[in-house]
Amino acid sequence: MKQIANTIRGLSMDAVQKADSGHPGLPMGCAELGAYLYGYYLKQNPKNSKWLNRDRFILSAGHGSMWLYSCLHLAGYKITLEDIKNFRQLHSPTPGHPESFMTDGVETTTGPLGQGVGNAVGQALGFKILGEKFNTEKHPIFNNKVYVLMGDGCVMEGISSEVSSLAGHLKLNNLVAIYDANHVSLDGPLAESSSEDTKTRYKAYGWDVFEIDGNDIEAIDTVFSQIRHYQEKPCLVIAHTIIGKGAPNKGGTYKAHGSPLGVEEIKAAKDELGIPQEDFYVPQAVINYFQNKLVSDAKEQNEWKQIFEEWAKENPSKFQELEVMLHHKLPDDFEQKLQHLMIKAPISGRKASQEVLNSLADMIPQLYGGSADLSSSDMTMLKKFSLIAPNEFHGRNIKFGVREFGMATIATGLYQTGMILPFVGTFLTFSDYMRNAIRLAALQHAQVFYQFTHDSIFLGEDGPTHQPVEHYAALRAIPQLQVIRPADSYEVKMSWIAALQYKGPTALILSRQNLPDLAGTNIPYVEGMGRGAYIVKKEKGKADFTLVATGSELSLAMNVANELEKLGKNVRVISMPCWALFEKQPIDYKESLFGGDIGKRVSIEAGVDLGWHKYIGRDGIAICMEHFGASAPAGVLAKEFGFTVEAILERIL
């Protein structure tokens, strides 16, 4: 174990130095933890890295990525020594921070501190759900654990408080957080910015807490052996380590944190640690050790496979449902069923979505989710199913509490079990709390559904603190996030089809106020929502005006068009619920909507105009919000901010 630990140190020092960039401090300080976890403790099979019942390990302190890459390389994952040498280089599977879609053995993308803790809570919760659903007394096919390594930055970030609080409440006894307590942050000693009692804090959350010397293998083994067999609550292991351990001049200081040690310091460190001066040196004894371990890893998976096959044979209906969830299978006729789902209009977007969500829950067993203490308002409750509660994981509704950021990170973790499609809900304006988690979900194509309600100034009296105006643009700016703002109940149904077909996250932007169903939206998915934008009202001759709208403003656009026609004008009306889907369409389709002389172009959306001029041109008119809103009834606000037929006619004529 000592030799493995020093190999981790050597590889990490050399890789950071060669890249002239990176963080050597954590890899060197946590080397014994890495040697123990990957060299002995974790239940994993590197040659089958997606084994369903493997233990999950997350490096929340993602800046210490060379620690993880060194461990994965030695353990036998698909990271070569050449990959280690190409640390932080273009297209290398060893990027600056761990990326799940790039690197074998990386369970989630981390870097923004604390979010890995949230992902770990989500994965742990997901496996409690799956264990409750599928395990039998004779065949416990889900009995894995989730481990996460966090640093001082993760502990200080508020996200760790949100998710740790919920984990303690739910008594997740398959979750272990390791706190690399090296008392050093990037800017200097931790004492300059923090003096909290982390041990007492986590006990208050309902966790069991252990303290160890994180550089003592025997101390590590004593605690982790106990946790493996006797865990009743989530556990925090406070591992006191020395940042940059082995570096004689920079070890134990912030100088080892975020920059290469330097050639002379590395040479001195290798002498002190007894590591040969050869760059990227891996002892043959370490190679032999891990080759032998691969044999036992495969044996452990095969033993589980035998249990799984016996379970599948004795529980055919459970096995069939597991297959559906594992492969995210959708019923062949689910689109047809949604099209024929009767939803009585006028109805708000949020209530229409709840009816769709409850219909989908009957068809799709992998659909789980909840809200940040707003399920009665954002309409995310699955009415036929119970709540998940401490030690009770058979329900499908999760009460996340007022923890929006935490909720979003947990949702990503739920998806990362490989068997759950999570949805989460809150008001659109609170998507700001969740933004960085949404961004990371988009980065790694996590299929999470965000139900954002109260989508405009028309929520009314709650006023500008709750009225989103910049949020459509802000969410649309996130690459790989599918943002949809449906206009009526039919578009809501089609929005869910788009969300379920997209292999990435989707934000559904839904109204609080009732909306009428509109002529022109009730068309097949591939002709309407599937295009992202489509014509709902065709001009009778050469168009004098083309009106483009989303969400609740589409009905307003239709009313404006009717009045223009009374004045002898020819009008085209385009519904554009999803810019991202529209941008994927062929050029000829885009031209059929926006090409040529289609008259004066007008966008109508109760948000800022950012992005609209790409479609309406520099000379187009954007009926938009240029203020934060105000506290008043919705009808009063429509007149105040120009979202009435009369105001729009005056503006565009």
Pairing of strands 184-185, 188-189: antiparallel
**Alpha-carbon span 132 to 128, nearest angstrom:** 6
- 3 state DSSP class of 424: strand
In Å, what is the CA distance from 556 to each residue of 61, 562, 608, 649?
A: 49, 10, 17, 11
Inter-residue contact 347 to 489 (CB < 8 Å): yes
Inter-residue contact 399 to 375 (CB < 8 Å): yes
430 appears as a binding residue in the annotation: yes
For 267, list phi and psi in degrees, rounded to 5.
-60, -45
183 appears as a binding residue in the annotation: no
In Å, what is the CA distance from 27 to each residue of 30, 214, 247, 280?
A: 5, 12, 12, 14
328 appears as a binding residue in the annotation: no
**404 catalytic per annotation:** yes
163 appears as a binding residue in the annotation: no
**Which H or E element spans position 236?**
strand 235-240
Name the residue among 408, 401, 418, 417 with its Cα closest to residue 440. Answer: 408
Name the residue among 470, 468, 496 with its Cα closest to residue 482. Answer: 496
158 appears as a binding residue in the annotation: no
Contacts of residue 313, defined as CB under 8 A and 6 or more positions apart, other chains included, come to: none
Give the position of tokens 């949805």.
423
- Sheet of 397-399, strands arranged across: 397-399, 367-371, 421-427, 449-453, 506-509, 482-484
DSSP letter at 323 equals H
362 appears as a binding residue in the annotation: no
Contacts of residue 39, defined as CB under 8 A and 6 or more positions apart, other chains included, come to: 1, 4, 74, 75, 289, 290, 293
575 appears as a binding residue in the annotation: no
- State which amino acid sits at residue 268: A
Please list the residues that pair with 547 across neighbouring strands.
573, 602
520 appears as a binding residue in the annotation: no
**Alpha-carbon span 639 to 647, nearest angstrom:** 8
In Å, what is the CA distance from 564 to each residue of 520, 561, 600, 646?
A: 18, 5, 12, 11
106 appears as a binding residue in the annotation: no
**Which H or E element spans position 73?**
helix 65-75
Inter-residue contact 35 to 9 (CB < 8 Å): no
Helices assigned H by DSSP within 599-640: 613-616, 634-640
23 appears as a binding residue in the annotation: yes
Inter-residue contact 458 to 484 (CB < 8 Å): no
With b meaning 16 or more CB within 10 Å and e meaning fewer, what string describes 533-562?
Answer: bbbbbebeeebbbbbbbbbbbbbbbbebbe
377 appears as a binding residue in the annotation: yes
**Alpha-carbon span 558 to 571, nearest angstrom:** 9
63 appears as a binding residue in the annotation: yes
Structure tokens at 589: 């389709």
184 appears as a binding residue in the annotation: yes
Catalytic residue among 107, 162, 335, 404: 404
For Cα atoms 406, 412, 416, give the angle at the middle one, nearest 5 degrees.
Answer: 140
Inter-residue contact 504 to 445 (CB < 8 Å): yes
139 appears as a binding residue in the annotation: no
C-alpha 263: how far from chain center: 39
Pairing of strands 514-515, 347-348: antiparallel
Binding residue positions: 23, 63, 111-113, 152-153, 182, 184, 257, 350, 377, 430, 454, 462, 466, 512
Binding residue positions for thiamine diphosphate: 63, 111-113, 153, 182, 257, 430
Binding residue positions for substrate: 23, 257, 350, 377, 454, 462, 466, 512
Active site members:
404
Binding residue positions for Mg(2+): 152, 182, 184
